[in-house]
């Protein structure tokens, strides 16, 4: 059975329904990642596989740094303009703690370049990643944006282009099945690591 899901907070399927669940750049918007992964785990059949990608903690770190610096200097207040993203270690721990087996958590940074700050903001908005969590914060006026843009150029430009980071975390985990391979016990190896490295 194939199904499409766009709301990570409302996963309305029967338990043990799927052999494979793929979640592509969605779970970072979850208000409770533990709860979302627990629900996905319940939807998998035994030996079912979850593959999930989500934005990680270093995503848009350059823009976040510039916004915090400028707004703190101007107002003495810091607003969470960028969504809080989870780090790969925490995401992997949650994946394991909710019951997934043979877990793997990996992280990869994608570096992009932009002609100016407005181009980067347009990309963020087109992805639907502008911060809906901060609706009560005041809008950023043009003078403040100008200072942010100038600071961005001074700190994060290369060859007249602005650099930005998108940190992608990839999580894979299996639902337990008695036929799955089990990790060997520590000390049970027949070949030492040092002998392999010498070859």
Q: Above 60 in pLDDT, residue 27?
A: yes
**Residue 184 within any structural domain of the chain:** no
**Domain extent for 119:** 18-179
Structural domain includes residue 193? no
In a domain, 4, yes or no: no
pLDDT of residue 159: 85
Residue 7 lies in a domain: no
Question: What integer pLDDT is reported at residue 5 of this predicted model?
Answer: 52
Say which DSSP state 15 is in: S
Containing 53, the helix (H) or strand (E) segment is strand 44-55
Summarised one tens digit per residue, pLDDT across range 134-152 is 656 778 888 999 999 999 9
Write out pLDDT tens, residues 36-54.
Answer: 999 999 999 999 999 999 9
> Is 90 contained in some domain?
yes
In a domain, 5, yes or no: no
Q: Answer whether residue 198 shows pLDDT above 80.
A: no
CATH of the domain at 97: 3.40.50.150
- The tens digit of pLDDT for each residue in 5-14 reads 555 555 666 7
Q: Check whether 132 has a pLDDT greater than 70.
A: no
Tens of pLDDT along 52-93? Answer: 999 999 999 999 999 999 999 998 888 778 888 999 999 999
DSSP assigned state of 136: T
Residue 18 and residue 140: Cα distance in Å, rounded? 45
Cα torsion 180, 43, 17, 48 to 10°: value is -20
Contact status, residue 61 vs residue 69, Cβ threshold 8 Å: no
Q: Residue 115's pLDDT band (boundaries 50, 70, 90)?
A: very high
Q: Is 125 left (phi over 0), alpha (psi -120 to 50) or beta?
A: alpha
User: Does 125 reside within a domain?
Assistant: yes
* pTM value > 0.85: no
98 pLDDT above the threshold of 90: yes
Number of domains in the chain: 1
Q: Rounded to an integer, what distance in angstroms lies between the CA atom of residue 151 and that of residue 144?
A: 11
153's tokens: 């150029």
The answer to the question of residue 9 being in a domain is: no
Distance between CA 146 and CA 162 in Å, rounded?
A: 14
Residue 186 pLDDT grade (very low, low, confident, very high; cuts 50, 70, 90): confident
* Strand partners of residue 53: 24, 170
């Amino acid at each position: 059975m194939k199904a499409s899901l766009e709301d990570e907070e409302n996963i309305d399927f029967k338990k043990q329904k799927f052999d494979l669940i793929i979640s592509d750049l969605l779970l970072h918007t979850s208000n409770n990642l533990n709860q979302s992964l627990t629900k996905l785990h319940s939807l998998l059949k035994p030996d079912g596989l979850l593959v999930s990608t989500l934005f990680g903690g270093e995503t848009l770190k350059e823009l976040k740094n510039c916004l915090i610096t400028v707004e703190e200097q101007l107002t003495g207040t810091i607003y969470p303009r960028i969504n809080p993203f989870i780090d790969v270690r925490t995401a992997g721990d949650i994946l394991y703690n909710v019951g997934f087996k043979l877990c793997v958590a990996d992280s990869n940074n994608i570096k992009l370049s932009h002609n100016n700050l407005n181009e980067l903001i347009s990309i963020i908005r087109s992805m639907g990643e502008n911060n809906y969590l901060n609706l009560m914060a005041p809008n950023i006026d043009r003078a403040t944006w100008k200072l942010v843009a100038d600071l961005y150029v001074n700190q994060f430009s290369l060859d007249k282009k602005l650099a930005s980071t998108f940190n992608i975390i990839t999580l894979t985990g299996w639902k337990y099945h008695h036929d799955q391979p089990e990790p060997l016990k520590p000390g049970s190896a027949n070949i030492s690591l040092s002998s392999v490295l010498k070859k």
